[in-house]
Amino acid sequence: MLRVLQLSASYKGRGNPAIEAVIKSSSGNNVTSVWLSQRLSSTTSGPTSAQEDETMILSNGHTLGYSVCGSHSCSAPTIFFLHGYPSCRLEGLGVRQAAKDVGVRIITPDRPGLGLSTYDPHRTFLDYPDHIAQLARHHGLSEYRVIGGSGGGPYALACAKLLPTQHLKGLGVLAGVGPMDPGMGREEMRATARVFMRINHWAPGLLRWVLERSLIPKLLNPDTGVIREFLQNRLKRAKLEESERQYLELEKIDLDMIIRVLREHFRQGTNGFMMESQLYLKPWGFRLEDVPFEGVRLWYGANDKNTPLKMGVEMSKRLKHAKLKIYADDTHFTVAKYVKEILKEILEDPLAHITDDLQIQIDGKEKEAPKH
């Protein structure tokens, strides 16, 4: 059952169609309130030591690559961060300072066929939780938490489906992609993303051909200026929200790191990329209603066009005692500034303050309530 927790007289996102749709969908479903909270300041950045190229051998003989960053304390809570798409283990390094500030360790594994991890042409979402379990045992962990970001969302929910709760102590989805079933939100994705999905569905060979003749040669060119110019031109032409452009300018986007991430993603060629994209289009192999883990946390920007808010809402309705947090003024990219807040929240008891209904928090800046 959908329930909005504490309806304030006003919130910063009022008038935002995505948020209004959430509230409207709540009507007649035990609506009581939406509460507002002040945003935390964005995380600081800075260099900290990290292990970028770690590997282990899985029970099937395959190699699993991963990175480790954050706290060096042996007692620090561990969070497995499941990277987006297209990405790799190096994505986790972007939160290293926030992880150190919060006092957690972040382990980010490469998925099969990406980075240092062995390609597996037969893998599914439900194969992945065993990789996390083996990686946890490799590090001697009896307890851990999992966050899936963007394309890592389905893998995180697969972990919620299969990993035992005596080990899995927190599960989160940060702007995660949802099932592509009708009514789950894909119709609200960017037009370019919908076109990409259609090409991938009907002509995957064409997509591979384009990659291998355009992006890949630029990535492999020893002159990094070639790929830098390509990415800069793409960013200039991209149809970004103004808040996204301001955020990217403020954060001084690190193109060198983006290049490293993409080179690692395509390190073994295009097979891993194609496998990932096909998995997102297919049924996941499990129903969200059958996920036993209670208290999954979800964080979404109301203006997200990559993984629309509707995806988060619809998945939250189907999960047991889910907690959905909406950033009223944010997009797929700008939610990253709340990473420190998110790392703190995933450490909380997922069953604390549990109700029989979905809990939604709309997070925006306070302003004076209108007079009635």
Q: What is the structure's pLDDT at 14?
A: 54
The highest-confidence range among 219-228, 309-318, 359-368, by mean pLDDT, is 309-318
Whole-number Å distance between alpha carbons of 163 and 57: 20
Provide the pLDDT confidence category of residue 235 given band limits of 50, 70 and 90. Answer: confident
Q: What percent of the chain has pLDDT over 70?
A: 79
CB 155 within 8 A of CB 123: no
Pick the closest to residue 335 from 200, 230, 241 (CA basis): 241
Whether 353 has a pLDDT exceeding 80, the answer reads: no
> Mean pLDDT lowest for which of 223-227, 254-258, 285-289?
254-258
Provide the pLDDT confidence category of residue 329 given band limits of 50, 70 and 90. Answer: confident
Q: What is the structure's pLDDT at 190?
A: 84
Residue 256 is classified by DSSP as: H
How high is the mean pLDDT of the chain? 85
Q: Which residues 6+ apart lie within 8 Å of 285 measured at CB?
A: 124, 125, 126, 158
Whole-number Å distance between alpha carbons of 19 and 4: 11
Q: What is the structure's pLDDT at 8?
A: 38
Rama region for 60: left / alpha / beta (φ>0; ψ in -120 to 50; rest):
alpha
> Mean pLDDT lowest for which of 7-11, 208-212, 347-351, 357-361?
7-11
pLDDT digits (tens, 9 = 90+) for 153-207: 999 999 999 999 999 999 999 999 999 999 999 999 988 888 888 888 899 999 9
